[in-house]
Amino acid sequence: MLIGNTAQPAACASDAQRLCGIAYMTCRSALRTAGQAGRRITAVIGSMNTVMKRFCETYLKKLHIGNITAESNVLMAPLAGYTCYPFRIMCRQLGAGLAFTEMVSANGLKYNDRATAKLLCTDGAETLRAVQLLGSVPSAFEAACKGEYTADYDIIDINMGCPVPNVVKNGEGCALVNDLQLASRIIEACKRSGKTVTVKFRPGMNRERIVVSEFARMCEDSGADMITVHGRTRNMMYEGEPVYEYIEAAKKAVNIPVIANGGIRSEEDAVRMMDRTGADGVMIARYGLEDPGIFSRLTGRKTVPGKLELILGQADMAENCFDELAAMEHVRKIASYFMKRLAGTKNLKQEMYACGDIRGLREILVRIFGRDDGTE
């Protein structure tokens, strides 16, 4: 009996401890759930505030780059194979303060490569001109900046952000974030041309080695008049949400303008980017191909041209700038982006690529985009 009587209180104590533990875990789980719900509510409210803001009312302004002033702080990024003269003119007409050429090899210009020189087609209608140069040899950059091919360009932008393997293997593009001394010498070489110089770069090769603040300061100390920071590391390529903190760090590190780039596909994205980074403006990249009307919306234009009007305008300009085959190639590429969210166009797209002359191509474009006004 004594043994039984002593064991019973011990069992009761054990049961009580177990019940207390269950109660503790239940309360802890409830608190965690409440906290998550609170955070979700905060996020929703923040999102609603972002949507309610309009970029043109809150953040739109002129952009001062050295001794040059762009009419808006909404820029079109340099895109290889796309940002030729006709496309740049369209973006500027829609409200972009600046539209960059596709990347051009500094070495190619040094050796008078004709194919490279064709990328620099421009005329007096392009009132503010910016060329992006790619390379890794300071002397080649200096020669390119002082050469006849870039003579009509006001701004030299240096590509220090391209993540493509072949570019990085050559020590160009994003590879330069690993070599601040060489990057500095390239900027200084470009500045010796007397032109306004900007730099586009990424925060680092990966999240384990982020150099965004020191790289931004190096750019400013070397004479850069503006920097653009793509909010993804090299190994992120073009996937995932940009890391706003990287762009914010660059902004805090320098006094020159900082442009935020990466993942902007709507006015809400643009407002969020400005809210989170404190940047001086935004740069639109591939979404500008799909929906160039975003420039009009961000800059507060009252009317946005339909896609039919825009693509036929591209055909007109391309015919004046290129031979027929090159003009058709450009129009097809832009039209393909315009068609991304346009249902029922698969067969027409095949016809577009099979078409053999610009006149027939125009007729197909009318059939594709003439069914509605082409706006989003």
Distance CA 251, CA 245 (A): 10
Q: What are phi and psi of 99, to 5 degrees?
A: -135, 125
Distance CA 201, CA 223 (A): 15
- What three-state secondary structure class fits 180? helix
Active-site position among 56, 162, 174, 321: 162
162 flagged as catalytic: yes
Torsion of Cα atoms, 48 then 50 then 54 then 59, to 10°: 160
Distance CA 198, CA 75 (A): 13
Pull the structure tokens for residue 58: 């809150």
- What three-state secondary structure class fits 59? coil
User: 341 has which bridge partners?
Assistant: none
Contacts of range 139-144, beta carbons closer than 8 Å, 24 or more positions apart: 139/189, 140/106, 140/107, 140/109, 140/110, 141/106, 141/186, 141/189, 141/190, 142/189, 142/190, 142/192, 142/193, 143/106, 143/109, 143/110, 144/104, 144/106, 144/109, 144/110
Residues tagged active-site: 162
